[in-house]
Amino acid sequence: MAGSKSDVRRPGRPANPISREAIIGIARGVFAAGGYAGASLSQIATKTGLRKASLYHHFASKESLYLAVLDTLLEDIGTMFSEALTGKGDFTERLDAAVVGVLEYLGDNSDAAQILVREMVDGGPFVEAHGREAIAMTLQVAAQFFDLGMAAGQFRQQDAKQLTLSLMGLILYSYAAVDVSTVFLGESPLSDEGKQNRHNALRDHVLRLAIA
């Protein structure tokens, strides 16, 4: 009922409520475009439709928001990768499922690749806090998977850690450098046709590098 207590905004409560997850998604795009130093809470507030002060109801600082963005991103990719690698099928089938999942995710969220590459190259707040170890743990899961696949005779014998790093660069760069890729390929890797073409090529490259 109009005028009831439930309709009255409590002191300090944002006038336009927005979920924490939505803020993180919007902030990811801003941080990916300008980097940590180039992004501001004012920019993020504007894009979320909140006042800058209202962001503090969700995050204590720009750094805490940035860390939440990277934590969420790495958790999404890590979970997706782990589930595929521990799923059904032989090692080749599980690798293919993991690659397809990651490519679809990055194809739909290219800013995820951009912000992750920026952070690893620049050594920003996430890496300085706990990101270095978190990224290394995610890569270790992949390296262990490749070691097991080699022991089973399904993957070519090679240094699993070197292979993991090579594949990470191969996949991430395609979406972190969209402008360069678009000029070189003559089509955007984010368009429907360009995305499919790039996915097919990357999937083929990964399997050729890994399979015996």
Question: Does residue 144 sit within a domain?
Answer: yes
Q: Is 211 exposed, middle or buried (0-12, 13-18, 19+ CB in 10 A)?
A: middle
Question: Does residue 44 sit within a domain?
Answer: no
CB 120 within 8 A of CB 135: yes
Can you give the residue range of the structural domain that contains 87? Answer: 69-210
Facing residues of 17 across strands? none
Confidence of residue 13 (pLDDT cuts 50, 70, 90): low
CATH of the domain at 162: 1.10.357.10
The structure tokens listed for 63 are: 């750094």
Question: Does residue 196 sit within a domain?
Answer: yes
Report pTM. Answer: 0.83
Q: What is the pLDDT of residues 116-139, one digit of tens each?
A: 999 998 889 999 999 999 999 999
Question: Does residue 55 sit within a domain?
Answer: no
The total number of structural domains in the chain stands at: 1
